[in-house]
Amino acid sequence: MAPLQLTGQVLDVRRAGMYTVLSLTAPGLAERTKPGHFLNIGIGGDESGLLLRRSFAIYQAQSRGVYGGSVDIVVGVHGKGTQWLVERRRHDNLSIVGPLGKPFTLPKDPANCILVGGGYGTAPLFMLADQLRERGCRVDVIAGAATEEKLFGTLEIKRAASTLTVTTEDGSMGVQGRVTDVLDDIITKTSADVIYACGPMGMLAAVANVAAARGVYAQCSVEESMACGIGVCMTCVLPVIGDDGITRMVRSCVEGPVFRGDRVRWSEVGTVPTDALGAPTEGH
Amino acid sequence: MSRALITSGPMGSGLNLPAVDMSTSIASFETPMPVFTASGCAAAGKELDQFFDITQIGGIVTKSVMLNARSGRATPRMAETPSGMLNSIGLQGPGIDAFIENDLAWLRQRGARTVVSIAGGSVEEYGKLAAKLRNVEGISAIEVNISCPNVEDRGQVFACDPNSASQVIQAVKRNSDTRVPIIAKLSPDVTNIVTIAQSVERAGADAVAVINTTLGMVINLDTMRPALAGITGGLSGPAIRPMAVRCVWQIHQALPDLPILGMGGIRNGDDALQFIFAGASAVSVGTVTFNDPSAPMRVQNELEVALAMRGFTTLREAIGYAHRGPDLDEVAEEQE
């Protein structure tokens, strides 16, 4: 279904550790949202000097309720744009476009699923966990971050998971180390059929590698910087192998953000592989 | 001729203004509406059609296409700048054959007016591209992008040299359908843009598109290296608008009969009107589409209101209006 462009109103702003959760009215958008979809928000109003919209995974979508549909997003402050956003208050208006991108694909039959979130990459996994459970899937969650404060929603996600394993690089919470230090073991214990992952590119690459080594199907939601989010600017590309075996520089906003783990050429993200379609030939 | 009133629209509510005849022409290309997308900011129209009816604006200017499929440059390809952005895409695209078969076919079936933008690495490639488009249905005009800054060799920016620019236009003119007007897209990164405009006009260009991005650079203070993988990139957005208006003004002053498709940082109807007053016959909305995916439609509606508020009943009367001689009341004041 086509994305919508609308003006949403801030319903609620709340802190969640080092992140801020914004609840926004978004009539029509919430109903269309599937786990893994994202939206983007205009920054600073009509005359803003910050032209580029900021993209966020949709964390929760409530299609009914007194506001006729609302969505939640999780914002981490990285610069002026996200700083402006977390300073919004109840009743402020925001320009919203969404839902955008290709969402996660859900298994037709009950399957054993591992959900891996890095930092606030757990955000789109909550709706996913709920929908997987509704389909009779087993859901085990791994949440990892550098430190405890960079984790998001670990208490909340427990509700939807058979098990939750937390990893932090400094050992401030859970197992000291990275998500991939525990992933192999959990694949064995749960006889996992599918791995869903969202987080920084390095983590996704590592998760996709473990999944490939164990022969487990993986879906990874990537994080690439985008200008438009709707497929027209061509800035958010990464090398992905197509069904025909040919590598193309594809747009993560419309052909992703969710990709099959075995299709992204992780080690070459940020480059144009020499065998990619239309890659520069020598001497040109 | 009876006219509807502008009573709705983003700025029109509460106003009772006569509708404006927005029709215009770019050489022999007649269009009922004056606002276009800009090449590289609209892909081939399909994505934006989800946000507004692309048949209701002047038309779609497609992303510049080359002879062969092209991967473009490595990432990062983009950096945000004050009121603008830098891009270094490197003309990623499917190649002309796949473009004609898929993108152009879709636009034709959709009924959108289409300006096909082409880019080549050599004079010969431009000629071949023009030949490929010959006898293809559904092309309102051809934009010859001789000014993309994101080519490997900056020496190949044809629009920076009058002779190279002229050679490319001649090659396109020789190989294309004479009924389809040729629009040369110029770079502001030259000492005198009028010289280039004169040169492409003599070579047979029917119109000019003014301006392409201007070359810029950002250093990432975390990595302490250039922010873009391509090191330099094209600067666009409202930041370059005054430069663009100046270029349109200069070209219209020197060559009042050469139609201009004006662009560079147009964000709203008032911005678009500056370009029309400076001498543009039509305008393109580019980078702002990334900020507002329905911007081309919105700007067109706002432009109509902006014209009506100033008493214009046709867009054509407003083209180059800022170049007029002293107004009668000013003359009267001087005589007092």
Identify the closest residue of chain A to B78 by CA–CA distance. A235
Q: Does B47 touch chain A (CB under 8 A)?
A: yes
Does the annotation mark B247 as catalytic? no
Domain extent at residue A50: 4-100
B 279-308 residues with CB below 8 A of A? 287-294
- Is residue A237 domain-shared with residue A213, that is, in the same domain? no
Of the candidates A5, A81, A278, the beta carbon closest to that of B69 is on A278
* Predicted local confidence at residue B328, as pLDDT: 80
pLDDT, averaged across chain A: 95
- Which two structure tokens, joined as six digits, stand for A59? 């964390």
- Is residue A109 domain-shared with residue A171, that is, in the same domain? yes
**What ipTM was reported for this prediction?**
0.94
Q: 3-state DSSP call for residue A142?
A: strand
When pLDDT is cut at 50, 70 and 90, the band that residue A68 belongs to is confident
Q: Does B78 touch chain A (CB under 8 A)?
A: yes
Q: Does B8 touch chain A (CB under 8 A)?
A: no
When pLDDT is cut at 50, 70 and 90, the band that residue B154 belongs to is low
Q: Mean pLDDT lowest for which of A122-126, B1-5, B55-59?
A: B1-5
Q: Do A225 and B95 make contact, defined as CB atoms within 8 angstroms? A: no
CATH of the domain at A87: 2.40.30.10
Task: Determine the residue type at B151.
Answer: V
- Is residue A106 domain-shared with residue A192, that is, in the same domain? yes
The predicted-structure confidence for B65-74, as pLDDT tens digits, reads as follows: 999 999 999 9
**How far apart are the C-alpha atoms of B143 and B209, rounded to whole Å?**
8
Picking from A73, A100, A127, the residue at the C-terminal end of a domain is: A100
When pLDDT is cut at 50, 70 and 90, the band that residue A283 belongs to is very low
Q: Does A238 touch chain B (CB under 8 A)?
A: yes
The predicted-structure confidence for A195-223, as pLDDT tens digits, reads as follows: 999 999 999 999 999 999 999 999 999 98
- Is residue A76 domain-shared with residue A151, that is, in the same domain? no
- Is residue A216 domain-shared with residue A150, that is, in the same domain? yes
The predicted-structure confidence for B98-125, as pLDDT tens digits, reads as follows: 999 999 999 999 999 999 999 999 999 9
Which chain B residues touch A230 with a CB distance below 8 Å?
A: 47-48, 50-51, 293
pTM of the entire predicted model: 0.94
**How far apart are the C-alpha atoms of B209 and B37, rounded to whole Å?**
12
**How far apart are the C-alpha atoms of A212 and B241, rounded to whole Å?**
50
- Is residue A176 domain-shared with residue A233, that is, in the same domain? no
List, in sequence order, every beta strand (DSSP E) within B244-332: 260-262, 282-285
For residue A196, which of A98, A127, A99, A248 has the smallest C-alpha distance?
A: A127
- Is residue A95 domain-shared with residue A10, that is, in the same domain? yes
Of the candidates B71, B78, B95, the beta carbon closest to that of A276 is on B71
Domain count, chain A: 3
Average pLDDT over residues A229-256: 97
Average pLDDT over residues B284-311: 98
Interface residue of A232, A244, A265, A272 to substitute, partner B, most B CBs within 10 Å: A232
- Which two structure tokens, joined as six digits, stand for A152? 């998001």
Query: Residues B162, B247: contact at Cβ < 8 Å?
Result: no
Q: Do B71 and A231 make contact, defined as CB atoms within 8 angstroms? A: no
Burial class (CB in 10 A: 0-12, 13-18, 19+), A54: buried
Domain count, chain B: 1
For residue A179, which of A96, A118, A91 has the smallest C-alpha distance?
A: A118
Picking from A37, A69, A100, the residue at the C-terminal end of a domain is: A100
pLDDT higher than threshold 80 for residue B152: no
CATH of the domain at A163: 3.40.50.80
Residue B237 falls within a domain, yes or no?
Answer: yes
Query: Residues B317, B307: contact at Cβ < 8 Å?
Result: no
Count, in order, helices (H) and strands (E) of chain A: 6, 15
Identify the closest residue of chain A to B82 by CA–CA distance. A49
- Is residue A108 domain-shared with residue A208, that is, in the same domain? yes
* Predicted local confidence at residue A282, as pLDDT: 55
Task: Determine the residue type at A87.
Answer: E
pLDDT higher than threshold 70 for residue B15: no
**Chain B nearest CA to A113, separation (Å):** 32
When pLDDT is cut at 50, 70 and 90, the band that residue A284 belongs to is very low
Q: How many CB atoms sit inside 10 A of residue A189's CB? A: 12
CATH of the domain at B133: 3.20.20.70
- Strand A217-221 vs strand A194-198: parallel, antiparallel, or unpaired? parallel
- Is residue A251 domain-shared with residue A142, that is, in the same domain? no
When pLDDT is cut at 50, 70 and 90, the band that residue B7 belongs to is low
Average pLDDT over residues A49-67: 91
Domain extent at residue B242: 24-293
Residue B58 falls within a domain, yes or no?
Answer: yes
- Is residue A167 domain-shared with residue A247, that is, in the same domain? no
Which chain A residues touch B40 with a CB distance below 8 Å?
A: 233-234
Interface residue of B61, B63, B66, B80 to substitute, partner A, most A CBs within 10 Å: B80
When pLDDT is cut at 50, 70 and 90, the band that residue A77 belongs to is very high
Residue B76 falls within a domain, yes or no?
Answer: yes
Q: What are phi and psi of B141, to 5 degrees?
A: -165, 165
- Is residue A207 domain-shared with residue A108, that is, in the same domain? yes
